[in-house]
């Protein structure tokens, strides 16, 4: 973005929850996956629909984003067969994409080579080292992993001390760029139930405050929301599920279009929610224009 007129357009999506493939080996279900599969078969497969996610992808293509940021939960069970399906889905997207895992993608404790490693092309080549940092134009994208295996009926997350320190370093070394932190579990309060929260939310919010960021994107809640990182004015933006069928406007399938540019010595951020309406037509929903200071090195 060498000139004020230049603009970067980014698509923000999350919680695609692609359908679980047919029968899975019984040995792979003798853990928390059994409960998640039961939830999928009894209810969630009627709410997360491929025809809806296809509409979202088609609408993104019409807007020609420079990048797509996928904030996790592309699977339901974190099974290798699901990641094989997800790999094909990601390759068909209409723009280069970056991904961070959600709680469903790391549902049980196992080697990343059993599935998550297939997402490496969209995580700067590693499913083990977070955060990763990638840049284009004057934008720095910082991918954080908050997903950890949890007990049944829990879906909390944790970034951890070591990754937190690397996050701080990444924020400091990219100062002066428009820094976007992408993390599945929101580093904020009241956005999800206690059993789904980020365990070290206070610590991670403090790191983001200390290092600085221009925007934090999350998923997990299945709700459209815009608040701020605690004790800062940094926008914390959530998005509803890419595949969700719901009668509630804030939970209907959508994606967020983010238009970023430099204007008069500051960052200009235009947020436009692209929402699947009652008549199955995509339309503009929530919109917001933000003017953000450029934080020099």
Q: List Cβ neighbours of 218 (8 Å cut-off, separation of 6 or more).
A: 14, 71, 182, 183, 184, 185, 186, 187, 191, 236, 237, 238
- Whether the predicted pLDDT of 115 surpasses 80: yes
- Whether the predicted pLDDT of 112 surpasses 70: no
Confidence at residue 279, expressed as pLDDT on a 0 to 100 scale = 82
pTM: 0.95
Q: What angle do CA 103, 92, 59 make, to 5 degrees?
A: 90
pLDDT tens-digit map of 161-215: 999 999 999 999 999 999 999 999 999 999 999 999 999 999 999 999 999 999 9
Q: How many residues does the chain have?
A: 297
Q: What is the mean pLDDT of the chain?
A: 94
Mean pLDDT of 4-17: 89
Mean pLDDT of 279-287: 93
249 CB neighbour count, 10 Å cutoff:
15
pLDDT tens-digit map of 40-84: 999 999 999 999 999 999 999 999 999 999 999 999 999 999 999
b/e sequence 132-161, b meaning 16+ C-beta within 10 Å: bbeeebbbbbbbbbbbbebeeeebbbbbbe
Confidence of residue 2 (pLDDT cuts 50, 70, 90): very low
End-to-end Cα, the chain, rounded Å: 17
- Whether the predicted pLDDT of 140 surpasses 90: yes
- Whether the predicted pLDDT of 284 surpasses 80: yes
Q: How far apart are CA 68 and CA 70, in angstroms?
A: 6
b/e sequence 58-89, b meaning 16+ C-beta within 10 Å: ebbeebebbbbbbbbbbbbbbbbbbbebbbeb
Q: For residue 181, give the 3-state DSSP assignment.
A: strand
**What are 274's strand-pairing partners?**
255, 284
Q: How far apart are CA 144 and CA 10, in angstroms?
A: 18
Name the nearest CA neighbour of 158 among 200, 109, 188. Answer: 200
Confidence of residue 296 (pLDDT cuts 50, 70, 90): confident
Domains of the chain, CATH where assigned: 7-293 (3.60.21.10)
Assign 3-state DSSP to the chain and report helix, strand, coil percentages, each to 5: 30, 25, 45
- DSSP assignment of 36-47: HHHHHHHTGGGT
């Amino acid at each position: 973005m060498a000139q004020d007129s230049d603009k970067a357009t980014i698509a923000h999506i999350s919680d695609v929850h692609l359908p679980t493939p047919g029968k899975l080996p019984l040995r792979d279900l003798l853990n928390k996956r059994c409960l998640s599969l039961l939830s999928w078969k009894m209810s969630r497969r009627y709410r997360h629909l491929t025809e809806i996610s296809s509409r979202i992808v088609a609408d993104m293509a019409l807007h020609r984003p420079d990048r797509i940021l996928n904030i996790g939960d592309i699977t339901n069970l974190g099974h290798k067969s699901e990641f094989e399906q997800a790999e094909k889905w990601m390759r068909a997207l209409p723009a280069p994409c970056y991904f961070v895992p959600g709680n469903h993608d790391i549902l049980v404790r196992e080697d990343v080579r059993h599935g998550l490693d297939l997402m490496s092309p969209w995580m700067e080549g590693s499913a083990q080292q977070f955060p990763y940092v990638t840049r284009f134009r004057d934008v720095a994208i910082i991918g954080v992993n908050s997903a950890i295996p949890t007990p049944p009926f829990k879906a909390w997350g944790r970034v951890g001390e070591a990754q937190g320190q690397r996050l701080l370093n990444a924020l400091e070394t990219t100062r002066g760029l428009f820094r976007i932190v992408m993390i599945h579990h929101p580093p904020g309060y009241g956005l999800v139930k206690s059993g789904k929260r980020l365990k070290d939310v206070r610590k991670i919010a403090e790191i983001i405050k200390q290092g600085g960021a221009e925007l934090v994107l999350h998923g997990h809640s299945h709700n459209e929301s815009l608040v701020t990182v605690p004790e800062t004015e940094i926008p914390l933006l959530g998005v509803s599920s890419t595949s969700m069928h719901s009668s509630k406007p804030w939970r209907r399938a959508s994606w967020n279009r983010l238009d970023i540019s430099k204007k008069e010595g500051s960052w200009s951020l235009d947020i436009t929610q692209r929402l699947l309406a009652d008549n199955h037509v995509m339309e503009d929903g929530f919109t917001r224009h933000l003017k953000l200071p450029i934080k020099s090195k």
